[in-house]
């Protein structure tokens, strides 16, 4: 399994590779994400010991919600952006002066009835206008 840098470029590389892969490969990636976000992050990205320790401190609910947001984006071939503050942007001088805070947001728009495609020969309707963008932000907050 290839590891990518844990920065915006690395996430973009991972996503490009994933979206060009087979549906089966994409489904396997989603299963891994949902099974254990921590394990998936460690296996997919180059993380420091501090980053791995930090992931462990996140609540299970937060990790579950984030895993579902990521898999939703993958299902819809939506962009995923990592907006990660670098160490150079820190204003504190000591590690204990700051704490990492992680948040996520997505803009998932549901289509209205006029956007739904007509029924197929099998009686199913397909919605082709679901759109969204998952942004994962990691920043430092002074205490």
d(CA 63, CA 7): 19
Q: Band the pLDDT of 1: cuts 50, 70, 90.
A: confident
pLDDT (0 to 100) of residue 132: 74
Q: Is 123 left (phi over 0), alpha (psi -120 to 50) or beta?
A: left
Give the pLDDT confidence of 65-86 residue by residue, as tens digits. 999 999 999 998 989 988 877 6
Q: What angle do CA 33, 39, 43 make, to 5 degrees?
A: 95
pLDDT (0 to 100) of residue 104: 63
Give the pLDDT confidence of 12-65 residue by residue, as tens digits. 999 999 999 999 999 999 999 999 999 999 999 999 888 898 888 888 998 999
- pTM for this structure? 0.73
pLDDT (0 to 100) of residue 123: 44
Q: Band the pLDDT of 102: cuts 50, 70, 90.
A: low
């Amino acid at each position: 399994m290839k590891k990518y840098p844990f920065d915006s470029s690395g996430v973009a590389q991972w996503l490009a590779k994933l979206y060009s892969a087979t549906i089966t490969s994409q489904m396997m990636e989603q299963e891994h994400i949902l099974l254990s976000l921590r394990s998936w992050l460690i296996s997919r990205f180059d993380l420091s010991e501090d980053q791995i320790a930090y992931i462990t401190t996140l609540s299970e609910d937060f990790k579950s919600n984030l895993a579902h947001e990521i898999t939703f984006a993958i299902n819809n071939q939506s962009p995923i952006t990592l907006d990660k503050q670098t160490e150079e942007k820190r204003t504190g001088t000591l590690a204990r002066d700051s704490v990492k805070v992680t948040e996520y947001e997505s803009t998932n728009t549901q289509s209205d009835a006029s956007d739904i495609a007509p029924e197929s020969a099998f009686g199913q309707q397909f919605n082709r206008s679901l759109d969204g963008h998952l942004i994962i932000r990691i920043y430092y907050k002074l205490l």
